[in-house]
Structure 1
């Protein structure tokens, strides 16, 4: 006998802006769960591959599957009104902070025209303020994810490398849609994400920033994996000093005590021992890093609070020399 109480999750149009590892993972899992997904990429070449062949999703248990998605390059968004085919309920922004420039903001204005809400999954700080200023009428949601993903080619193959949590919440309490946010939560859970809603996103962003501000720059400077970083006593002392400085700055701006934060940093190093941090990956590939929005963001915050930040200043300068 059929279960007449079964909840039916509707199919929504969801735009994924960014074709990196996190963008492709969300696209693949959401499309696999029956959502209408469009991936917006920086290059025509990647968009053409995704349109023709779909996302190649490699799940945590090693199963590989090709999943059809719609895809276009951001440059194809020309002037003029957005047609119905490009209207969406949600936009999930997965690009790096360095790519949030005026060109991208212009295209986001066009994609979000109407009632689309925007979920932002960036590392570091400063992006939400920038987006709020550029998109004053948009429903903006801040997100923090610890889900692991790795892109295995230049276009469409993504491996889900680690389970994690995805938390999101409205950036501004007077600009949110309870129906849309609860619907996205159900959709994310149906797609396999361990997702949750929070009204303390600033604190969650700061807790993740604290970990990133210790691990990312030092792995880039020392050219070492996450697990190797604390194995040398000199590096371990520097990690601890950078942690203490960063924690003091973020706490001064309202970060709540979250248990033993230093122990959490060490646990992340152990749990991701074989991982190459995103910052080290960028340095090795000759790409711009996100240092300006991680340690540079911490240093900027310290300046506004009247607090010294010598270690964050130093690692920011050192990583920039590696660009």
Structure 2
């Protein structure tokens, strides 16, 4: 039987971190980078993975530009295309480029690992012939150079079919689960990813904008009394809206939020990184997405509106 191939589209923090760990376990991985310069550096020197308390290690990896990825690999129905780019990159032009790459021509499964909401519906409309999976992760990573990434927080990688489906014993997703476990990645399957996306959105809607506005790593949010109150207020408003939109209440969501802050204490949120670099942020799909849900269900969202405007004032978004 052919080995499963994983093509990771997007060589940012999560793309590099997962590619290194998978490649280190012997999985067949290729990275599709945004430009040839980064791709060439990755081919020449691999990925350097840094982790607190451990000596950094370098992992060889195949890499190319997205335009050329189909020539390097021709994934089939047992293979996976992971999208680890940000929501702001999922434009119509990007979708066209992905289609023209040929990566999806033979029925490979498409796994989306974006923050916020709205991306799954867009991907489904663009690629209706390919099995579609949603994924969320509570792990942290920070890209420090084109070929270097710091693993900043342990967590869980959760994935499952989109839209919601009963477990059907699909061998492809079970093969991926085994591959993730072999790489030391804590992973689980879910048959209700819509709910998992909402639960992750609740976490992102608090941590990402507040760290971006205050210019701080995740851990300080939970330590400072004033910031902790800002967190509590934004969490309460966001949770109320998401519950109205259909999120299932799952125990102590406030406690889980604080736990994520502690687990990723030294992590710089992707939104803070984008603000520092003057890039577009994902605010429209995170807090802006919650504000849109509030309007749909006749609720008010003053805090989500406020942080959306504040982040936009700091960035290009």
The two structures have a TM-score, normalised by structure 2, of 0.91
Residue in structure 2 matched with residue 171 of structure 1 by the alignment: 162
* Separation in 1, partners of 2:213, 2:276: 11
* Separation in 1, partners of 2:303, 2:152: 31
Which of 160, 184, 195 pairs up with 2:151?
160
Q: In the superposition, relative to structure 1, how do residues 177 and 126 fare at CA in structure 2: closer, same or farther (>3 Å)?
A: farther
**1:242, distance to aligned residue in structure 2 (A):** 1.2
* SS of corresponding position for 1:227: helix
Pairing 1:103–2:76 present: no
Q: In the superposition, relative to structure 1, how do residues 217 and 111 fare at CA in structure 2: closer, same or farther (>3 Å)?
A: same
1:151-197 deviation digits (Å, cap 9, x = unpaired): 221x1112222221111000033998801111111111111111111
Residue in structure 2 matched with residue 68 of structure 1 by the alignment: 60
**1:10, distance to aligned residue in structure 2 (A):** 6.3
Which of 21, 30, 37 pairs up with 2:22?
30
**1:103, distance to aligned residue in structure 2 (A):** 2.2
**1:71, distance to aligned residue in structure 2 (A):** 1.0
* Separation in 2, partners of 1:45, 1:158: 17
1:281-320 residue pairs with structure 2 within 5 A? 281-320=273-312
Residue in structure 2 matched with residue 90 of structure 1 by the alignment: 80
* Separation in 2, partners of 1:101, 1:308: 29
- RMSD, matched Cα: 2.2
* Separation in 2, partners of 1:234, 1:61: 31
* Separation in 2, partners of 1:299, 1:249: 8
Pairing 1:249–2:249 present: no
* SS of corresponding position for 1:111: coil
Residue in structure 1 matched with residue 270 of structure 2 by the alignment: 278
**1:217, distance to aligned residue in structure 2 (A):** 0.8
1:260-287 deviation digits (Å, cap 9, x = unpaired): 2122222333333333222112111111
Which structure has the greater CA radius of gyration? 1
Residue in structure 1 matched with residue 137 of structure 2 by the alignment: 145
* Separation in 2, partners of 1:232, 1:26: 32
Unpaired segments of 5 or more residues in structure 1?
A: 1-8
How many residues matched?
310
Q: In the superposition, relative to structure 1, how do residues 135 and 46 fare at CA in structure 2: closer, same or farther (>3 Å)?
A: same
1:176-215 residue pairs with structure 2 within 5 A? 178-215=170-207
Residue in structure 2 matched with residue 5 of structure 1 by the alignment: none
* Separation in 1, partners of 2:269, 2:2: 37
* SS of corresponding position for 1:103: helix
* Separation in 1, partners of 2:71, 2:131: 20
**1:66, distance to aligned residue in structure 2 (A):** 2.3
